[in-house]
Chain A
Amino acid sequence: MRIVIAEDAAVIRDGLSLLLTSRGHEVAAAVGDAESLYAAVAAHGPDVAVVDIRMPPTHTDEGLRAAIRLRRDHPGLGVLVFSQHIETRYAAQLLAGGSEGVGYLLKDRVSEVSEFVAALTRIAAGATVLDPEVVTQIMGASRRGADLGALTGREREVLALMAEGRSNTAIASALFLSYGSVEKHVTQIFAKLGLPPSPEDHRRVLAVLRHLDS
């Protein structure tokens, strides 16, 4: 994978570069602000960009706006956005432009390096990855409490993992179920929530989140 990193803390930037290169990926550029990010993506044509939300000059949401713009200008580019704190509205803004090849993680997730690299790979392949914390907050804040109440405990677990962007296979291994059981649960969930079944994983993330947010 060819990767561009945008992160203003040098320590983390260097750590990420080290990590990704040690896994055999190419870090085409590691920059510290949004302007340099645009330039680097234009110059190197990476498969995925890793972007910190808080960057100079204002240290508020430069990274998020950069991510949204990059997704508009470079359709095939995967973008993983990470921040120190969860803001569910950032997730919503990010997904507003479509859910294919986009991810939002807490910086803490970076401390599990293999998971992080796996998430990046999935995003480069077009999947959606949402931090479990985000999903928990969205589900907790959802006004569809009644709908969620109609689901069984197991179905809620499957729903949460779906919302994180996991594939059926991944859900099966996470919950120690068979692939077939997961498929059945998914069908049930979609039926109970009144959603049409979605063919692709990233689309169903969007469907689920739209439903929860409506």
Chain B
Amino acid sequence: MSVRLRRMSVSRDPPAALARVLGYALLSLPMAATGLVYVLVLLMSALGTALVIGAPLLAVGLLGARGLAAVERRLARVLLRMEVAAPPPFRPRPGLMGWLGSALGDAAAWRAVVYLLARPPAAILACVAPLLLVPRAVGAALVPERLLVRALLGQTATSARIRELEASRAQAVDDSAAVLRRIERDLHDGTQARLVAMAMSLSMAKEELADAGRGERLDRTRELVDVAHRNAKQALAELRDLVTGIHPSALDQGLEPALATLAAGSALPVDLDVDLPGRPSPAVETIAYFCAAELLTNATRHSGARRAAIELRTRGRRLRLRVRDDGAGGAAMSLGTGLRGLADRVRVVDGTLEIDSPPGGPTVVSVDLPAHT
């Protein structure tokens, strides 16, 4: 009945109905636009507020999680005697957005969050342990906790590696700066001084010669020229040593010939035993040579040894250099024998240095290096 009524109203008054319907049609687009804008603004403000408040909140929370992780590590160290290295410290990028981004992307913080989520089951087990009152059971009950701490609160292999690389690179840079300073000093104090003295003698000799003709002056001149000549020879020898200190030419032939020269020129008798099928990288050759040279010098100067031995072996992709002397022993990293410096240098190419030097001797220093950098 209502349907019929409607049809009747339309058919009885077409112009008014059409106007109404048209009105609606015309309004519909602006209304739709308004409606769309409204919804978008609503959604965006909701989202925006969430982000503007939520993101910083999350960031601060993540840093808090790191703090909690530090506390857990401390507890583990003190009570469980577990040494877990702390992950790299939080280093935010500059600026507000940088800080936010760094915090939200901090791997150590997220791993701490995972730890906090995963811990409760392990904690329940750990709580049960005291009730058992059996030490073995307590230990076993704590195993999940220990695993979690070690897996999630420590350094990842990558970050540990990066730390190590940063340290050894800084060392290498310092090292080269120190070497350059030393070279400058040696050149200034030694070679330059000698050349100035030489110039003085020659100047004096020239003046004497200007008055030549008088016999007794020629003796003076001869003396002066002799002094100048000796200074020149000495300067050349010093310069040669200095340059050898930078790179010995013997190394161009290879590590084995260079070590042979080193052994031959040593004050101590040296037994040389080299097994080197191929040539290592130049950097490794240089470091191995200088280690051998320095260790031999130590043996000669500090140990009171009568004989020394240098052994070089290849083991797969690594070289092992051993310098042995039959002296008094007692060599250590801390004393001023330059062993610390050698160890640092060796570390730069991922090598190691070990000292076996009981008091009374003999001393064996082992240097382990990769054959190729």
Contact A111 B189 (CB under 8 A): no
**Cα–Cα distance between A114 and B293 once the two chains are bound (Å):** 46
Tell me which of A8, A16, A59, A84 contacts B200 (CB under 8 A): A16
Contact B204 A11 (CB under 8 A): no
Q: Map CB proximity to A onto B194-227 as digits: 1 under 8 Å, 0 otherwise.
A: 1011011111100100000000000010000000
| B193 at interface by CB-CB < 8 Å | yes
Closest to B208 in A: A22
Closest to A113 in B: B203
* Contact A15/B189 with A113-B207, A114-B207 known, Cβ cut-off 8 Å: no
Q: B interface, by DSSP: helix, strand, loop or mixed?
A: helix
Contact A19 B200 (CB under 8 A): yes
How many B residues face the partner with a CB closer than 8 A? 17
Tell me which of B189, B201, B203, B220 contacts A9 (CB under 8 A): B189
* Contact A14/B197 with A9-B189, A59-B185, A84-B188 known, Cβ cut-off 8 Å: yes
Interface centre among B197, B199, B202 (most CB of A within 10 A): B197
| B303 at interface by CB-CB < 8 Å | no
User: Cβ of A59: which chain B residues have Cβ within 8 Å of it?
Assistant: 185
Contact A15 B197 (CB under 8 A): yes
Contact A15 B200 (CB under 8 A): yes
Closest to B199 in A: A111
Closest to A23 in B: B204
**Cα–Cα distance between A8 and B220 once the two chains are bound (Å):** 26
Interface contacts (Cβ under 8 Å), in number, total 47
Tell me which of B192, B202, B204 contacts A22 (CB under 8 A): B204
**Cα–Cα distance between A112 and B203 once the two chains are bound (Å):** 6
Please report which residues of chain A, range 6-24, place their CB below 8 angstroms from some CB of chain B when the two chains form the complex: 8-9, 11-12, 14-16, 18-19, 22
User: Cβ of B194: which chain A residues have Cβ within 8 Å of it?
Assistant: 11
Q: Map CB proximity to A onto B153-189 as digits: 1 under 8 Å, 0 otherwise.
A: 0000000000000000000000000000000010011
Please report which residues of chain B, range 239-289, place their CB below 8 angstroms from some CB of chain A when the two chains form the complex: none
User: Cβ of B200: which chain A residues have Cβ within 8 Å of it?
Assistant: 12, 15-16, 19, 110-111, 113
User: Cβ of A11: which chain B residues have Cβ within 8 Å of it?
Assistant: 193-194, 196-197, 231
Would you give the shortest CB distance from A69 to chain B, in whole angstroms?
24
**Cα–Cα distance between A211 and B200 once the two chains are bound (Å):** 35
User: Cβ of A18: which chain B residues have Cβ within 8 Å of it?
Assistant: 204
**Cα–Cα distance between A114 and B200 once the two chains are bound (Å):** 10
Would you give the shortest CB distance from A113 to chain B, in whole angstroms?
4
**Cα–Cα distance between A186 and B196 once the two chains are bound (Å):** 36
- List, sorted by A's number, 8 A–B pairs whose CB atoms are closer than 8 Å: A19-B200, A59-B185, A107-B196, A108-B199, A110-B199, A111-B196, A113-B203, A113-B207
Task: Add 19 more A-B contacts to A14-B197, A84-B192 (CB < 8 A).
Answer: A8-B189, A11-B193, A11-B194, A11-B197, A12-B200, A15-B196, A16-B200, A18-B204, A19-B200, A19-B204, A22-B220, A54-B188, A84-B188, A110-B199, A110-B200, A111-B199, A111-B202, A111-B203, A112-B203
A interface residues (Cβ-Cβ under 8 A, vs B):
8-9, 11-12, 14-16, 18-19, 22, 54, 59, 84, 107-108, 110-114
